[in-house]
Structure 1
Amino acid sequence: MPTQDSTKAVLQHWRETLPKDRLAHLVRDVARMQTKALQARLVEHGVSFGHWAFLRILWIQDGQTQRQLSEAAGVMEPTTFSAVKAMEALGLIERRHLAGNRKNMHVFLTDKGRALESVLVPLAEEVNAICVQSMSPRTVATVRKALLEMIENLAADEAEGTEPT
C-alpha cells in the first residue's frame, strides 16, 4: 500500500500546490495509487502486479499466444516472455503447442492459476470499492462516462494520425 507520507504528498499536490494541474497527471496519480493498493494485496498471495495483467487476460480467454498476450496487456513481447517464464516457474501457467501447429506457443492456465481468480478478483474489487466509497452511484457513472469519452477522443486522434506540434 502507499505509505502515508506519499499519499499525503499526492493529496497536498492536488489540494494545495497545483490543484489545477493537468488532468493527465491526476489520472496517472489515481492509477498509481490504485496499483500500489492492489500490489499490496496481491503480494500476500505470491502474485506480482506484472503477473496480474496476464492472469486477468487468461481468465477471460485461456490459450492465447504470447504475442496475443502482449497485445492485450499493452506490453512488449520480451516483457511478456519474462512474465510467462516466471509464471510458469510458479506453476500458474503452462506453455504448449496446439495439435497441428508447431509454430505458435500458447499459454494456458494451470489449475493453480485458474483457482487464483476467485481469490484475486475480490481484492481488485475491494480496491475499486475503496476508490469510490464516498461517491454516489451517479458520480461514479459520470466519472466512468468521462473517462471512456477521453479514451474515445484519444483513439480518434490516433486514428487521424495527428503529429505532435
Structure 2
Amino acid sequence: MPEPTPRTPATASGGQVSYAIFELARAHRGYASALLREMGLHPGQELLLMHLLDRDGQTQSELLESVGLDHSTVSKSLRRMQDAGLLVREPAEHDRRVMVVHLTDKGRAMREPIAAMWQALEETSTRNLSAQQAESFVRTAYAIIDAINSRALPQEDSM
C-alpha cells in the first residue's frame, strides 16, 4: 500500500488510492471546466457534442445511455445547448413523444475546438509522465473502472 502523503487526511489513510483518485478527478475536472468556459460550454456539454459529432440524430435516450448521466442533467444541458444554437430537438417521425437531437452548423463547428481542448488537457495532464507511464496509467484506470462497475451491490434489507 502506498505511504500516506502530507496531503492525505488521516481519516483517508486506509484509502490512499481512492483519495488520490478523488484529488485527481477534482483537479482534472477543474482544469477541463476552465477550458470549456473559454469555449462557452458547461461541463458535460462537450460529451454530448462529441457523441452527436460521431453520430448525429440520436434520441435523447440514446444520448443518456452514451454519457451515463441522469435524465434531468442531460435534459437541462440539451435545453441550454439548444438555446445557444448548438443543436435542435425534434419529435421522431415514428413516435412524436421521442425527441431526436440534431446538431446545427454552429454545433458541428465545435468539432475542432473540442478536439483542441482535449489535446490541451492531455498535454497538461501527462506533462510529467513518460509515454510508458501514460499507457500504464490508462490501463490501471480502466482496471479500476471495471472493478468498480463489476462490484457486488449490497443486498437491500427487506422490510
Alignment-derived partner of residue 85 in structure 1:
79
SS in 1 for 2:144: helix
Structure 1 residue identity aligned to 2:154: E
Of Structure 1 and Structure 2, the greater helix share is in 1
TM-score by length of 1: 0.80
Structure 1 residue identity aligned to 2:139:
K
What's the CA shift for 1:103? Answer: 3.0
Contact 2:89–2:100 (Cα < 8 Å) also in 1:
yes
Residue 91 of structure 1, CA deviation? 0.2
User: Structure 1 vs Structure 2: percent identity of aligned residues?
Assistant: 23
Distance across 1 between alignment mates of 2:139 and 2:7: 28
Q: Which deviations, in whole Å up to 9, do the C-alpha atoms of 1:29-84 show, x marking residues without a partner?
A: 21221111121112122111131221122122221111222222222112211111
User: What SS does the aligned partner of 1:107 have?
Assistant: strand
Which 4+ runs in 1 deviate beyond 4 A?
none
Report the alpha carbon displacement of residue 133 of structure 1 after superposing the two structures with TM: 1.1
Moved more, 18-27 or 39-48: 18-27
Q: Match of 1:22, SS?
A: helix
Aligned to 1:108, what secondary structure does the other structure show? strand
Letter in 1 for 2:6: E
Q: How does 1:66-85 map to 2 (within 5 A)?
A: 66-85=60-79
Instruction: Find the partner of 1:139 among 111, 133, 140.
Output: 133
Unmatched tracts of structure 1, length 5 or more: 1-13
The secondary structure found in structure 1 opposite 2:100 is strand
Distance 1:96 1:59 in 2: 17
Match of 1:125 in 2: 119
Offset at residue 164 of structure 1 (A): 7.0
Residue 163 of structure 1 corresponds to 154
Unaligned ranges ≥5, structure 2 = none
